[in-house]
Chains A and B, each alone.
Chain A
Amino acid sequence: MAEINVSVNGRAYTRDVEPRTLLVHFLRDAIGLTGTHVGCDTSQCGACTVLLDGRGVKSCTVLAVQANGAQVTTIEGLETNGALHPLQAAFREAHGLQCGFCTPGMIMSSVDLLSHNPHPTEGEIRHALEGNLCRCTGYHNIVKAVQIAANTMAAGGSAVAAD
């Protein structure tokens, strides 16, 4: 067992973990944040995507001990003061989700994308999401959602009140 200190969505956690524990299992099992999903065992699907010190990572490829001392943001931490992140709002507005299983990872990857490319083209969006698989939407509305969010954020909108 190893002790780790991680800040998740702004809250500090100190936990003992087995060295082989993956970050995604730490999030889901140790601290009960089940919004981050596991869709594969070969690092392909991206359902587990979170932000680690602001960068999008597949939390199934990171050991919990590697996150020691880091800041993690999960889908549960995207709202600010009860207001949805523009990407969350845009996924709903554009119907960018159906079963919702890929959605947290899709949104976190899109947050990562827009943080370093605020005005992506359609092609850049499709390329940036290559590590995130969705079996329901055919991606059409996911791409639209990211475009909508990019526009909202460019117009200065940071968050949208949750209804």
Chain B
Amino acid sequence: MSAERVIEISSLNKSFGDFRVLTNVDLSVSLGERIVICGPSGSGKSTLIRCVNGLEQFDSGHILVDGISLEEPGGVDRVRSEVGMVFQQFNLFPHLSVLDNLTLGPMKARGLSRTDAEALAMEYLERVRIPEQARKRPRELSGGQQQRVAIARSLCMKPKIMLFDEPTSALDPEMISEVLDVMVELAQEGMTMLVVTHEMGFARKVADRMVFMDGGEIVETGTPSAVFEAPKSERFRAFLDKILQH
């Protein structure tokens, strides 16, 4: 592949105390590539993607994001300015209006004027189809709307890469698709995405590559079609059987 590598993770190890969470993880991601990470609870999926933008520190190994090393001085800040993140619990700022949630980063971190930041925010609120909620507080919105605000908030920083950590797991079933739709559009626009999710329909539709983790290791990777047809490892097969039953 000649495509530019935007994330390079090599021999990553991490423990919480005595407990090994990541063992020798290698993963590289090309520009525009969509990767879906799945695996049982506690397998280290969140920890892995949180290492990418420095929310977790690792014990050994290397991570390069767009050529920037997380270990170099100021590296974490530079990486974060290129990487957006969407959390399971949305993590919107409850004391600010939806609009202010979106303009905070552009104004304080990028130095945009209020007018420019609000124009930018409205543009992204329209992309996630809730411009009419701009003046409300997050708690007045449904879960699906809140998560779309969270996605728009990340996009306002014009990231090169987006990380999603189980973005639909905290949502009522009827709201899952409105969030996934926004993510599918984002994928179609060519955003580089690392998505931790158990939504296999989404994976099938947008993933270039599936990554299956178990016990802190990457057990198997492959295209969705190959993986869903015939998973190579027994563990992945058992995992798929379990989640596809539902």
Partners in one complex: no
